């Protein structure tokens, strides 16, 4: 995974996921987000590419929550997302827990980087406060 910064979309996997969302019909985008979250939750060992897609998905969900940060990076989706189902919020929290868990390659790669960890924790808090 090529990574250039600590943001939720600042890696090749998240940027590619954004491209797949843009290429999908609008009605199918929530299902792609759900799939990325469920894959992360179900993984025995979460590889960094799958984790990056889960984090990007959680960021997109969080952007539609009260207090959430809009996704303004050039590496996020260019096409607007429909209103995402609120039942994705608890899945996003579980996926972020998996990303931060002991069986996560992404956590291993970012271990000791307080900026990255704080960004994930802040996103989790927004999702949790929104009723996850």
- Per residue in 85-110, pLDDT tens? 999 999 999 999 999 999 999 999 99
Residue 4 lies in a domain: no
Give how many domains the chain has, as a whole number: 1
Measured CA to CA, the distance from residue 38 to residue 54 in angstroms comes to 8
Residue 81 lies in a domain: yes
Residue 27 lies in a domain: yes
> Do 85 and 54 touch, CB atoms closer than 8 A?
no
Residue 85 lies in a domain: yes
Domain that holds residue 40: 12-129
Residue 1 lies in a domain: no
Residue 7 lies in a domain: no
Measured CA to CA, the distance from residue 75 to residue 57 in angstroms comes to 13
DSSP conformational letter for 103: T
Q: pLDDT, tens digit, for every residue of 21-65?
A: 999 999 999 999 999 999 999 999 999 999 999 999 999 999 999
- Burial of 54 per CB tally in 10 Å (0-12, 13-18, 19+): buried
Residue 121 lies in a domain: yes
Supply the pLDDT for residue 131. Answer: 72
- pTM across the whole model: 0.95
Measured CA to CA, the distance from residue 119 to residue 131 in angstroms comes to 19
Residue 2 lies in a domain: no
């Amino acid at each position: 995974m090529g990574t250039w910064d600590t943001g939720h979309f600042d890696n090749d996997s998240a940027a590619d996921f954004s491209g797949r969302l843009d290429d999908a019909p609008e009605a199918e985008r929530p299902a792609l987000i759900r799939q990325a979250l469920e894959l992360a939750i179900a993984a025995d060992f979460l590889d960094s590419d799958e984790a990056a897609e889960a984090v990007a998905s959680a960021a997109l969900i969080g952007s539609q929550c009260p207090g959430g940060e809009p996704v303004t990076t050039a590496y996020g989706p260019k096409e607007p997302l429909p209103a995402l189902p609120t039942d994705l919020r608890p899945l996003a929290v579980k996926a972020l827990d998996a990303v931060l868990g002991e069986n996560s390659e992404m956590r291993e790669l970012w271990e000791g980087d307080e900026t990255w960890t704080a960004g994930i924790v802040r996103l989790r808090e927004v999702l949790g406060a929104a009723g996850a």
